Amino acid sequence: MSLSPRGREALIAVGDFATILVAYALAYWIRFEGEIPPRNLAAFPYVAPLAAAIGVLFLVVYETHRNLHRPPADTYVSLALAVLVATGLGTTLPYLFGAAAFPRSVFLIAAPLEFLLLALARRPFIAAARASLRRMRVTVVERDRVRAARLAREVAQSFGTREVEAVDEREFLRQIAPGPEGEAAPGGARARPDAVFMGAGCRAEARRRAHAWAVSEGVPFYAVPSLYEVLMSRQVVTQVGDAPVVAARQPAVPPEYAWLKRLIDVVGALVLGLLGLPFLALAAALVRLTSRGPAFFAQARVGLHGRPFTMYKIRSMRDDAERETGAVLSGPGDPRVTPVGQVLRALRIDELPQLWNVLKGEMSLVGPRPERPEFVARFTAEEPLYALRHNVRPGLTGLAQVSAGYAADWREKLRHDLLYVTSASLLLDLKIIVLTLRAVLVPRSSAEPAAWPGALARVAGGEPAPLTRARAPASGAAAEEADGRSREGPGRRPW
């Protein structure tokens, strides 16, 4: 008998509770080397179940029991975050409940045991979910076939699905709703899909009709939200007469979190600055020794509430990067990036000088990446909702950087930025920071910047950077620097 999704989630939650209790029991045994004093043993039944309940709560908050078809690394990162936060809160329990006989060291010993046991317990569920996806027939729908084929490749790559059909919205609507004479779509009848994915480019009417068909047929339906749908997804519903009304709130960091976020920014910038100072000095020396031009540069960017500020970086491109192209977006495989710059970008070391921007209050550790004024003007003209990114401080890293991929179109990154602006919280910031660390060490795909070991090998081998004309890719909303001293863009001042 197969379990429903809710039944499976409940089963996982019960198993998680038991697994965490086992981890605490093992930690107790390790802490006391197998000989537990009666006083300490008496405290275990009071504290351990409560700590396990807190652990399950955060496992649910981080949705480690859902979306098990996603890449396993994403689930393991969520597990690590949940264990980390629950452990931090758990250390306060002995004092809150007067159970000082429960040593705090037990929480520290239990944390890695929890993660290991929970990860092992998730493996069969992850394997079953991904095996089920591989067997599914998925229909991907977009406004035209080119967009549908692009989204279909992403679906197949993300979920490992083998049968993925890409169709435009008109063809799909003909498949699900034959014409007045009952004629089917050209090409004959097709088997009913096991799931439907609709892209953001589909018309609202097409999405409505496809969703209604999927619900009536019991077919799982997934849709990439439009920017407007992202903004309206977390609003308050009220009543005016007989009509329900959605009260749109100004997206921003919640006031109750703003002061804590700023405190974390200052402390985090100081700690990271001290730890990163040797790497910063080494990187600056390598840039100066391996290419012409300054090691650092300053550039105008747009920050909170649209106010311009000067952002600092280590130079990772050729000194004359904009001489032929002018200001263009940087994308994967950009020939203007130097061999040393590839290493710096892959390890994010070129961003370390921005910790000074964080201390000054111009940036945050987490938030949408700041953009150059000329690109902000262009993107805002094309999409007015782009301006809402500036309702929060720009960040060293953001949801778009860890979710959308380096080569994503600026509109796709904007979708993630607006999701962050409407959902900013401590838990989300912690998750983004952990995912950033993972992205530095394990790039997700070839669409990401070159992995640092390969880039480092090219530097060691003395491979010169190509000098072909740089193209202006449509992707890369981060629009990182096109640095250069001979052709300086607005606000750029080399050091």
Query: Which of 71, 105, 133 finishes a domain?
Result: 133
The CA distances from residue 209 to 176, 214, 244, in Å, are 9, 9, 22
Decide if 326 is inside a domain.
yes
Strands 296-302, 308-314: pairing is antiparallel
CATH number at residue 164: 3.40.50
Q: Do 351 and 458 lie in a common domain? A: yes
Q: Which domain holds residue 286?
A: 255-494
Residue 294 shares a structural domain with residue 150: no
CA separation for the pair 327, 489 (Å, rounded):
7
- Using the predicted structure, report yes or no on whether residue 10 has a pLDDT greater than 70: yes
Query: In 10 A of CB 118, how many CB atoms?
Result: 24
Q: Are the beta carbons of 145 and 85 closer than 8 angstroms?
A: no
Most confident of 32-41, 281-290, 431-440: 281-290
**Is residue 272 assigned to a domain?**
yes
pLDDT digits (tens, 9 = 90+) for 369-420: 999 999 999 999 999 999 999 999 999 999 988 887 666 788 889 999 999 9
Q: Is the CA virtual torsion 421, 425, 430, 434 positive or negative?
A: negative
Same domain (yes/no): 268, 348: yes
Half-sphere exposure of 443 (CA within 13 A, CB side): 20
pLDDT recorded at residue 491: 42
Does the reported pTM lie above 0.75? no
CA distances from 305 to 309, 332, 368, 427 (A): 11, 30, 13, 24
Same domain, 124 and 142: no
Domain co-membership, 89 together with 191? no
Domain count, the chain: 3
Cβ contact 230:415 at 8 Å? yes
Average pLDDT over residues 456-474: 36
The answer to whether residues 37 and 174 belong to one domain is: no
Asked whether residue 233 is assigned to any structural domain, the reply reads no
Dist CA 56 CA 15 (whole Å): 10
Query: Do both 121 and 140 map to the same domain?
Result: no
Decide if 250 is inside a domain.
Answer: no
**For residue range 413-446, what is the model confidence (pLDDT) as tens digits?**
999 999 999 888 888 898 888 888 777 765 544 3
Q: What is the structure's pLDDT at 458? A: 38
User: What was the pLDDT predicted at 285?
Assistant: 92
Residues 89 and 207 in one domain: no
| Residue 239 within a domain | no
Q: Say whether pLDDT at 481 is over 60.
A: no
What is the band of 76 on the pLDDT scale with cuts at 50, 70, 90? Answer: confident
What would the mean pLDDT of 340-356 be, rounded to a whole number? 87
234: in domain: no
Q: Are residues 36 and 175 located together in one domain of the fold? A: no
Instruction: Please check whether residues 106 and 173 belong to one and the same domain.
Output: no
Burial 278-298 (b: 16+ CB within 10 A, else e): eebeebbebbeeebebbbbbb
In terms of domains, do 58 and 82 share one? yes
pLDDT in tens, 239-267: 787 888 887 778 888 888 899 999 999 99
Give the span between the Cα atoms of 481 and 495, in whole angstroms. Answer: 15
- Segment 184-206 shows an average pLDDT of 76
What Å distances lie between residue 299 and 21, 311, 353, 400, 483, CA to CA? Answer: 53, 5, 12, 21, 9
- Per-residue confidence (pLDDT) for residue 266, from 0 to 100: 95
Same structural domain, 216 and 274: no
Residue 207 counted as domain residue? yes
pLDDT, tens digit, 9 for 90 and up, residues 187-196: 445 678 888 9
